[in-house]
A and B are shown apart, each in its own frame.
Chain A
Amino acid sequence: MNPTMMNSTSTQFVPSRRMGIYEPIHQMSMWGDFKGNNCLDASTPMILEVDPKLDNQSEDTSHGTVGHSNKYDQEASKPPDKVLRRLAQNREAARKSRLRKKAYVQQLESSKLRLIQLEQELGRARQQGMYTGSALDASPLSYAGSMNPGIATFELEYGHWVEEQDRQLADLRNALQSTETGDVELRIFVDGGLRHYCDLFKMKATAAKTDVFYLMSGMWKTSGERFFFWIGGFRPSELLKVLLPHLEPLTEQQRLDLGNLAQSCQQAEDALSQGMDRLHQILGAAIAKQLGEGNYLPQVGAAIEKLDDLARFVGQADHLRQETLQQISRILTTRQAARGLLALGEYFQRLRALSSLWSSRPRESS
C-alpha cells in the first residue's frame, strides 16, 4: 500500500474541516465504515492526527446520530438561508467524500492485484530455486516472468508438469518392479506418459506465441538441461541413444526399425539445423541493414516477420520430438516402451539433479 496516497486523501479532509461543523462528523462515520472493510488501520490514527479539533468527537464516531441530534437542536435557532446554505455545503462535502472513497477503493483493488502477482512470482522463484538450487539461476527466470504474463503462466504450468512427471515416473517404477503388473496396465502408463509429453508441447506452442526468444533460450529448464538444448528442447536423436541400452533384449526386426528411425531422425534434425542457421543469417541481416540511421522501425518491422518463422521452427522441432516418441512406442512392445519411458524420465531427473548438485557444492576457498 502506498503511504503517500494515504497522505493525499487524508489531507483532502483538512480544507473540508473549514466548510462547517457537520462535515467532519459525516466523514468520520464514513471512515469508520472503512475500518471494517480493510486491514489498513493506519488510516484511522492518521485522520485523528489531522483533525485534532475533533478529539472529543472521535469517541462519538459510533454514536454519530447522537452527535447529529445535538447539532440539529442548535441549528433550529439559525436563520433559514444560512441553514439552506449549510445543507448545500453538506451535500457537496458528502458527494466529494463519496468520490474520494471510490478512488480509494479502486487503489485498493489494483494493489490487491499487484500483491497476487508478487505472490505468484515469489512462488515461482521458490520453485525454480528447488530445481536449480541456486538463487542466481532463479532471478533471470522471475525477471522474464514478471515482464510477460504469458510466460509467467507457462513457467507456473511447467512447474506443475514436472511435479506430475515425477509422480508418473514413481508409479511407473513401482508397476515395473512388481511382478503382477500386466501389459494392459502398462499400456495405460505408456499412453499416459506419451500424452503428458504432448501436453508439454502444446504448452510450449502457446508460450511461443507470446515470446519465441524465451522458448529458444530454454530458461524454464535447469542449466544442465540447457547444455543439451536444441531448438527449444531435447535432441530427438539423443533420445534414441539414451533409450537403446534399456530396451534390450530386442528382436532383429526391432533393431533394424530402430536403426532406420535413428537415421531418419538424424537427417530430419540436420535439415532443421541448417534451416535454423539460415534463419539466423536472415534475421541478423534484417536487423543490421542500414545501421546508423537512427530510425530503426523498418528493420525491426521486417525482423518481426521472421519471428513467425522462428516460432514455426520451434513447433517443427517439437513435432519431431513427438513423432520420434510415437514411432519408438510403435516399434516396441508395451513392456519395452514402459521401460523406455521410465529410463527417459530418469535421464531428465538426473540432469536436473546434476544442475542442483553442481550449484550447491561446497566451494573451496583459494
Chain B
Amino acid sequence: MERIVKLASENGILIFSKSTCCLCYAVQILFKELRVQPRIVEIDTIPDGLEIEKALKRLGSSGPLPSVFIGGKLVGSTNEVMSLHLSGNLVQLLRQHAV
C-alpha cells in the first residue's frame, strides 16, 4: 500500500497494468495520443506485484486493471478514463499533472 502511495505521489500520471492485458495497452495508447507520458508499472513483472494488486482492490479500484492515478489520486479503470475523456475533462486533468 505504501508502495502505491509513494509511486502515486512521485508520478503525476501513473498506470498500474499487466503486460498481457490488452485493455491496459489501449489506455496507454490513448495517453500517448493525448501526448502525455505516464509512468507504467506492470505488476506481473515486479516482485511484490500481487501485494500491489490486493492493495489496489482495497483502495476501491473498480477491480480489473488498468488502475490509473492522476495527481496522486485514484481515477479508476478504463470506464472512468473513457467517461472523463468524453466529457472533455481528461485532457485538462492530464495537462495539469504532466511532467
A interface residues with partner B (beta carbon < 8 Å): 257, 260-261, 264-265, 267-268, 270-272, 274-276, 278-279, 282, 309, 312-313, 316, 319-320, 323-324, 327
Q: Is the beta-carbon distance between A312 and B23 smaller than 8 angstroms?
A: yes
A-B contact count (CB 8 A): 66
Whether A324 and B26, one on each chain, are in contact in the complex, defined by CB atoms closer than 8 angstroms, is no
Interface string of B30-58 (1 = CB under 8 A from A): 10011000000000000000000000000
Asked if A274 and B21 sit within 8 Å, CB to CB, the answer is: no
Q: Which of B26, B86, B87 contacts A275 (CB 8 A)?
A: B26
Pick from A257, A265, A274: contact of B29, CB below 8 A: A274
With an 8 A cutoff between CB atoms, is B96 at the interface? Answer: no
Q: In terms of DSSP, what is the predominant structure of the interface of chain B? A: helix
List the A side residues contacting B26 at CB < 8 Å.
Answer: 271-272, 274-276, 316
Query: How distant is B43 from chain A, measured CB to nearest CB, in Å?
Result: 16
Contacts of B78 in A (CB 8 A): 312, 316, 319
Which of chain A's residues have a CB closer than 8 A to the CB of B29? 270-271, 274-275
Query: In whole angstroms, what is the CA distance A264 to B29 when docked?
Result: 13
Chain B residues bordering chain A, tally (CB within 8 A): 21
The distance in angstroms between the C-alpha atoms of A264 and B88, with both chains bound, is: 7
Once bound together, how far apart are the Cα atoms of A309 and B23, in whole Å? Answer: 7
Nearest CB to that of A309 among chain B residues? B22
Q: Is the CB of A261 within 8 A of B25?
A: no
The 9 closest A-B pairs by CB, nearest first: A275-B26, A271-B30, A279-B22, A271-B29, A271-B26, A275-B22, A323-B86, A274-B29, A278-B22
Contacts of B27 in A (CB 8 A): 271
In-complex Cβ contact of B30 among A260, A268, A319 (8 A): A268
Q: A282 to B22, alpha carbons, bound, how many Å?
A: 9
Smallest CB–CB gap between B61 and chain A, Å? 15
Name which of B22, B82, B83 has the most chain A CB atoms within 10 A of its CB: B22
* A120, chain B: closest CB distance, angstroms: 35
A-B contact pairs, 30 of them (CB 8 A): A260-B88, A261-B86, A264-B85, A264-B88, A265-B86, A267-B30, A267-B33, A268-B85, A270-B29, A270-B30, A271-B26, A271-B29, A271-B33, A274-B29, A275-B23, A275-B29, A278-B22, A279-B22, A282-B22, A309-B23, A312-B23, A312-B64, A313-B23, A316-B82, A319-B78, A319-B83, A320-B82, A320-B86, A323-B82, A327-B87
